[in-house]
Amino acid sequence: MFNSRIFSIVRKEFVQLFRDPRTLALAVVIPIVQLFLLGYAATSDVRNISMAVWDQNKSPQSRQLLDAFRAADYFVIDHFVGSTEEYQKLIESGSARVALVIPPDYDRAVLQGNAQVLMVLDGSDASIGSTALSTARLVGQSFATKILAEQASINGRSALTPPVEVRTQVWYNPDLDSAYFMIPGVIGMILSFITTILTATAIVRERERGTIEQLIVTPIRSWELILGKLLPYVILAFVETFEIIIVGHFWFGVPVRGSLALIVFTSGLFLMSSLGIGLLASTIANTQQEAMLTVMMYNLPSLFLSGFFFPLEAMPQALQVVSYAIPLRYYLVVIRALLLKGVGLEAIQSEVIALAIFGIVIMTAAALRFRKRLD
Amino acid sequence: MIKVEHLTKEFKVKLFKKITAVNDTSFTVNDGEVVGLLGPNGAGKTTMMRLLATMLTPTHGTAYVDEYDVHTHAREVRRRIGILPETWGLYERFTPREHLRMFGEYYDMEKDSIENRIEELTSTLGMGEFVDRECKRFSRGMSQKVALARTLIHSPQNLLLDEPTNGLDVMSARLVRKLIAQLREEKRCVMISTHILGEAERLCDRLILIDNGTVVAQGTPKELCEQARKATLEDAFVTILGRDDVEVVL
């Protein structure tokens, strides 16, 4: 099956790739850039929320409360203010996201058991606002429980314990680090974006530069040409996959719990869809720009409807139905499960079957449309 | 040998609009013959070449290359044909040697035969100075030579040459004319598309005049002059086409 003609096309593609620094950079450097961008910048972890404090009490008790907020690791006390206007200005300018107001009689009220503090939150950014709100409540509850326990101890009584305690266990990602969620997703994104773009443009470029005419008039068969053109991008895609897994594992600490063979197998199935889309785009587009736009029309909705950024469960029902038609949706479930949970094939079999069906259908459709002719 | 039988090629330009680039055309080019396909711009010369080279599918009729149908036996035809297209289609990051090696492999040639053929073509076409340089900044003449060498790498029996001396300096053009004469001696079937009448007259045994996709006359240059009752090929060309708005290069 693998004859010298295919080998010759594969070699030609690699030579072209290695002699074209721009394409090589796109293929090798961009995955790493995206990995770092998405691993660090596109994080949903809300930490280091800037806080303004108006401590009107300035007592040991109020300082204890501030220490409790500091210890929570979510807030950074950046500003101490002396009036409502001051913290309002800070929130308006975005210098502070929350403001904590401790009343003048706070220490006395704590002893009487009816102390109240005010937490003002900037709700314009919903994700920061909701995290700050829930964290502030938790800090408050925990601090109140601690004070009750101390008071009980002073009065010689046994410490009060809450009637119900919820003990939590977070599996697979104990620190709820969003890089764990993002980095497997980056593999899916790279396999989809880079592969479709490179495949589509590699074929359309031949048409644009008139080199396809010479390939047509050789005895190379259509399937040999397709295989020869696609194989280098399959190899490149696997190099990129391992590049991301290695950097993700050693830099971001993302675990690799599943079988590497299964990762390669399922990535191969997903690649069939991406390569097929690239090939299909090359049969539609006449120029490289058209090819890029065509694959972007596929890639962008894929990204948003696959659960890469936003959970599918949070989407409207109609969009959830649409997402079933997107191969990336299944691959993200598979790669996250393989890397983070270390599952076997049985746990992801329905997704694997879906990937295989998509791969075969898209690749067959593309191969049938691809003709070694100019008309 | 190339045999064209009632060949027609239509292109869809709009939803319900078609243009006919080649219209019910028939002719034969024998082995050991150099035939010129002449016609004004847009006459259908390039489409004809592409149909014969299996790049396009005929709408009606067909053509045979060494008795193989261009439509149903495209692969056999491709083994027996070499085409020099109007656009060279070179990979700018490849050297001429790499081009020739690669295309030799596409034609299933043995490694040794490829290397020998590369040496032969490099010497015949005077490519020694630039055979190992990337094609990126090649002049028109250099690119034309590489494209011509690539066309000849598998020693095809049938050759379709679109403007073979295009962009070549006097010496190189002379070299190519000599090569075409040699191909005739080797009993190969050569078809040249050109609109340079002087070159056609000098190189070709026979001329086929094509206009609006149809053959309007064919014969030796002398026969065409007699048919049009004109002393020169240029006058005969204009008379046969029945108009004087065509571009003629002497």
Domains and CATH numbers, chain A: 49-171 (3.40.1710.10), 177-374 (no CATH)
Mark yes or no for CB contact A214/B78 under 8 Å: no
Q: Please name the residue of chain A whose CA is at the shortest distance from the CA of residue B81.
A: A217
Asked if the Cβ–Cβ distance from A217 to B90 is below 8 Å, we say no
Mean pLDDT of chain A: 87
Q: Is B55 in contact with A374 (Cβ distance < 8 A)?
A: yes
The one-letter code for the residue type at A303 is L
pLDDT band at B135 (very low <50, low <70, confident <90, very high): very high
Contact check, Cβ <8 Å, B107/A219: yes
Contacts 24+ apart (CB under 8 A), B202-205: B202/B177, B203/B34, B203/B36, B203/B177, B204/B34, B204/B35, B204/B36, B205/B33, B205/B34, B205/B35
Tell me the chain B residues in contact with residue A218 when contact means C-beta distances shorter than 8 Å.
Answer: 78, 103, 106-107
Segment 130-169 of chain B within 8 Å of chain A by CB: 134, 150
Label residue A162 by pLDDT band (50, 70, 90). Answer: low
Average pLDDT, chain B: 91
Cβ contacts of B89 on chain A, cutoff 8 Å: 209-214
Q: Are B39 and B19 in contact (CB under 8 A)?
A: no
Distance of CA A317 to the CA centre of its chain: 22
- For A128-148, the DSSP string reads HHHHHHHHHHHHHHHHHHHHH
- Tokens representing B58? 């005929």
Tokens 């490099």 sit on residue: B122
User: Is the residue at B104 inside a domain?
Assistant: no
Give the span between the Cα atoms of A304 and A334, in whole angstroms: 17
Q: Are B238 and B217 in contact (CB under 8 A)?
A: no
For residue A375, which residues of chain B lie inside 8 Å, CB to CB? 11, 56-57
Chain A residues with CB under 8 Å of B11 CB are 375
Show the DSSP H helices in B66-110 as ranges: 74-80, 96-106
- Cβ neighbours of B94 in A, within 8 Å: 12, 15-16
Q: Within a domain: residue B151?
A: no
What CATH number corresponds to the domain at position B55? 3.40.50.300
As for how many domains chain B has, the answer is 1
- The confidence score (pLDDT) of residue B53 equals 94
Residue B128 lies in a domain: no
Q: Are strands B34-38 and B189-194 parallel, antiparallel or unpaired?
A: parallel
Is residue B57 domain-resident? yes
- Predicted pLDDT of residue B151: 96
Neighbours of B239 (CB within 10 A): 17
Q: Are B41 and B33 in contact (CB under 8 A)?
A: no
Q: Is B107 in the A-facing interface, judged by CB distances under 8 Å?
A: yes
Pairs from B235-244 (Cβ < 8 Å, separation ≥ 24): B237/B38, B237/B197, B237/B209, B240/B209, B240/B216, B241/B40, B241/B209, B241/B211, B241/B216
- What CA dihedral angle connects A37, A39, A44 and A47, to 10 degrees? -100
For an interface test with A, which of B12, B55, B68 has the most A Cβ atoms less than 10 Å from its Cβ? B55
pLDDT of residue B246 exceeding 60: no
* Residue B157 counted as domain residue: no
Question: To the nearest whole percent, how much of chain A has pLDDT over 70?
Answer: 93
B9 assigned to some structural domain: yes
Q: How far is A374 from chain B (nearest CA, A)?
A: 6
Q: Do B54 and A216 touch (CB under 8 A)?
A: yes
Give, for B246, the enclosing helix (H) or strand (E).
Answer: none
Distance from CA of A217 to the nearest CA of B (A): 5
Give domain status of residue B68, yes or no. Answer: yes
Q: Is B94 on the interface with A (CB under 8 A)?
A: yes
Query: For A23-80, what is each residue's pLDDT tens digit?
Result: 788 778 888 888 888 877 766 667 788 899 999 999 998 998 899 888 877 888 989 9
Residues 6+ apart with CB under 8 A from A207: A286
Burial of A161 (0-12, 13-18, 19+ CB in 10 A): exposed
pLDDT band for position A327 (cuts 50, 70, 90): very high
Point out the residue among B81, B89, B106 whose CB comes nearest to the CB of A210. Answer: B89
The alpha carbon of residue A230 is apart from the nearest alpha carbon of chain B, in Å, by 17
DSSP state of B108: T
pLDDT, one tens digit per residue, over B47-73 is 999 999 999 999 999 999 999 999 999
Q: What mean pLDDT do residues A230-251 have? A: 90
Phi and psi, residue B14, nearest 5°: -135, -175
Are the CB atoms for B39 and B21 separated by under 8 Å? no
DSSP letter (8 states) at residue A205: H
**Has residue B130 been placed in a domain?**
no
Res. A301 pLDDT band, cuts 50 70 90: very high
B19 at interface of A, judged by CB pairs closer than 8 A:
no
* A217 contacts B53? CB cut-off 8 A: yes
pLDDT at residue number A168: 64
Give the model's pLDDT for residue A130. 79
Full residue range of the structural domain in which residue B70 is found: 1-80+191-250
* pLDDT class of A263 with cuts at 50, 70, 90: very high
Phi/psi of residue B189, each to 5°? -100, 115
Which residues, 6+ apart, have CB-to-CB distance to A248 below 8 Å?
Answer: A35, A39, A179, A183, A184, A186, A254
User: Residue A170: what pLDDT?
Assistant: 67
Q: What b-and-e string marks burial along A209-235, b requiring 16 or more CB atoms within 10 Å of the CB?
A: eebbbbbbbbbbeeebbbbbbbbbbbe
Structure tokens, B1: 């040998």
d(CA A191, CA A254): 19
Q: What is the pLDDT of residues B78-104, one digit of tens each?
A: 999 999 988 889 999 999 999 999 999
Band of residue B233 on the pLDDT scale cut at 50, 70, 90: confident
**Residue B23 is which amino acid?**
N
Distance from CA of A372 to the nearest CA of B (A): 8
State which residue of chain B sits closest to A206, comparing Cα positions: B89
| Residue in chain B nearest A5 by alpha carbon | B106
Size of interface A-B (CB pairs under 8 A): 75
